[in-house]
Amino acid sequence: MQQLIRQLLAELGEDPGREGLLNTPKRVEKALKFLTSGYNMDVDEVLNDALFTVEYSEMVIVKDIDFYSLCEHHLLPFFGKCHVAYIPRTKVIGLSKIPRLVDIFSRRLQIQERLSSQIADTIREKINPLGVAVVMEATHLCMSMRGVEKQNSFAVTSAMLGIFRDNARTRMEFLELIRHRGDVPHGLPAGTGLTCVND
């Protein structure tokens, strides 16, 4: 990878041999490996000892989870907050594992829509809840840095499954609980959002 990065620097018109760039290939490799380390993380390993059977059927919410991901179209960061909710049927996930789950899927090349769905689908698969909801709000550097559609560089996506999809009141309750600064649209329909421009 380091050889490729040296080559990339040269292609960009830089001198990979100058002092400031000498260790850059090593650093970039390390950074990229970390930012894509989700490929090597195993969901079952992370959740392994953290699924519990309980009698609890109220909404569980973990909000304002920071996440950082890379857009697969430009390899540039998009980052923001993730809010996760579910209503248990018989099982719950240890609360601290939810942010770990977000990391597993964020630390890959992604589009925001798929990232939201993968988190929701995984929770459904692992604990079969009555419903699960994921809302992600993110800034996309591939849009804001390149000056493309500046007004839309902030994107909101959602994945609503089960009762969150079928029951408007449950969905509204969740959206109300995660609302802050008034920037999550009220009554957000499932799948709202946009991905970076494909150019």
Residues annotated as catalytic are 71-74, 112, 140, 142
- Local structure of residue 192 (DSSP, 8 states): -
**Phi and psi for 66 in degrees, rounded to 5?**
-70, 135
- Count CA atoms within 13 Å of residue 159 on its CB side: 20
Shortest gap between Cβ of 138 and Zn ion (angstroms)?
11
Nearest to Zn ion of 79, 91 (CB atom):
79
- Tell me how long the chain is: 199
Q: Which of these ranges, 85-93, 127-135, 159-167, 188-196, lies near Zn ion under the rule CB under 5 A?
A: 188-196
**Contact status: 73 vs Zn ion (CB under 5 A):** yes
Shortest gap between Cβ of 38 and Zn ion (angstroms)?
18
Nearest to Zn ion of 26, 150 (CB atom):
150
The β-bridge relationship of strands 77-87 and 60-71 is antiparallel
Q: Could you tell me if 130 and 162 are in contact, meaning their C-beta atoms sit under 8 angstroms apart?
A: yes
Residues 117-156 that bind Zn ion (CB under 5 A): 142
Apex CA 149: angle with CA 185 and CA 106, to 5°?
65
**Contact status: 115 vs Zn ion (CB under 5 A):** no
What residues line the site for Zn ion (CB under 5 A)? Answer: 71, 73-74, 142, 196
